Every structure is written in C-alpha cells, then in structure tokens.
Chains A and B, each alone.
Chain A
Amino acid sequence: EVLLLESGGGLAQPGGSLRLSCAASGFTFSSYAMSWVRQAPGKGLEWVSAVSGSGGSTHYVDSVKGRFTISRDNSKNTLYLQLSSLRAEDTAVYYCAKDIGDSYYDHVWRTYRPYFSFDFWGQGTLVTVSS
C-alpha cells in the first residue's frame, strides 16, 4: 500500500522558514518523480515543485523560484520542501504527490520532465504565514 505522510507544517512569520517532509512507503521511491501541490484555504490546487527520481532535476512554479527548494533522500524514502522568505500568500495545505513514473525525455520539448500525473497523495500539512 502506497503511503505518503507529510510533516513540518505550522505557523511561520513573514520572511521566515519551514521545512516540510514527506515520508513515503509502499513503492520503490527512487523510481518515481515527486511533486508538492498546495491549496490555499477555500481555494483550488496549485502545483509548486517537482523533482526527478534521482533528485537531479527540479522544477518550480515562478512564484516560489528562489525561495523554495525541493529535494529528496532516497536512502530515507523522504521528500523535502524547504520554504524560505515566506509570504502570507504561501499560506496553504501542502500535499506531496507521487507521479506515475520517473522523469522522461520529451522529444517534443527536448527536455527531461516528469509526467506531472499524481496517482497518490499525502494527507497534507498546513503552513500558515502570519505575524
């Protein structure tokens, strides 16, 4: 059974930092790309960041580039998201999500990219940015 368990959320001040973790089990973690998707209170879903199975390729939405860092430790089956320079608009439930495969070479776009299709999700961890 695939399980994803996020932790690390909480209250942070504007400009502050947090590190989210996602412990994975039930599948060969290193064989799959992983993403973080967030949902502000009462709002829709927003993809935030993705990382390839090896950790060597990362992607971010523009609004978090330079502030958030995605990483993974395949020896610990754990995905991370380091949040820095936090803003009120970063307040959201953050979900980790398993992709349906690892990154692949897209011949049309001439780049390695994840499938961005999320077949399993964690329960989410709430990040609140407020003074």
Chain B
Amino acid sequence: DIQMTQSPASLSASVGDRVTITCRASQSISSYLNWYQQKPGKAPKFLIYAASSLQSGVPSRFSGSGSGTDFTLTISSLQPEDFATYYCQHTYGAPPITFGQGTRLEIK
C-alpha cells in the first residue's frame, strides 16, 4: 500500500499568514492527489483534486502543487474559517486509497 506522510503534524499561524503543508507519497503517484479540509465534528470538505485543480466553490487563496512523490497545499492569506485539519489523499492505482495522517492548523 502507498503511504502518505504529511508535515508538519500541527502548525500555528495567524490570520493573514501564508501557510504551506507538505504531503509525501511512499512511491510516485503522478498527480493522483487530493486535499480535504475538516473542521471539528464535521465531515471533510473537498478542496483540491489532481494535485492542483481547485474544486468548485473553494476560495482561490487555496492552491496545490506537486507531482510524483512531493506535494504541497498552500493557503496564501489565512482567514479565520481556515483553521482546521487538512488531509491529503492519493487516488493512484488499485485500492486501497489512503489518506495522510492530517495537519492541524491552529490559531497562533
């Protein structure tokens, strides 16, 4: 199975900051990489697919990049509603598809 490793595990930042979260796959997954946002007690929200394509309705301050094994999620200017946990997920090849362990973004 492909392992997904996110860093950092947690991050403190302030409103207006630029934030980058990294996701690394244990083998090349091309661009088969999604990002989700989850707030406490809520279901995940689909943010980015195919590594860099923004899901409809997601603010443009979110962006994704990368291919192969290394990927990043960037929030260009943090807003209060962005404080949440973020998960990467690969969709490459045969199941199982796996998620990263999550990155908790907290208010500084």
- Report A's interface with B, CB cutoff 8 A: 37, 44-47, 50, 59-62, 95, 100, 108-109, 111, 113, 115-124
Contacts and interface: CB of A to CB of B under 8 A. Distances in A.
A121 B43 contact: yes
Nearest to A106: B93
A45 B44 contact: yes
Interface residues of B, number: 23
A121 B49 contact: no
Given A45-B99, A118-B34, 20 more contacts: A44-B100, A46-B98, A47-B89, A47-B96, A47-B99, A50-B95, A59-B96, A95-B44, A109-B93, A109-B94, A113-B95, A116-B91, A118-B36, A118-B46, A119-B55, A121-B43, A121-B44, A121-B45, A122-B43, A123-B43
A61 B91 contact: no
A119 B36 CA distance: 9
26 contacts: A44-B87, A44-B101, A45-B38, A45-B99, A45-B102, A46-B99, A47-B89, A47-B95, A47-B97, A47-B99, A95-B44, A100-B49, A108-B93, A109-B94, A113-B94, A113-B95, A115-B91, A117-B46, A117-B91, A118-B34, A119-B46, A121-B43, A121-B44, A121-B45, A123-B42, A124-B43
Q: Dominant SS at the B interface?
A: loop
Interface in B1-42: 34, 36, 38, 42
A95 B43 CA distance: 8
A88 B15 CA distance: 40
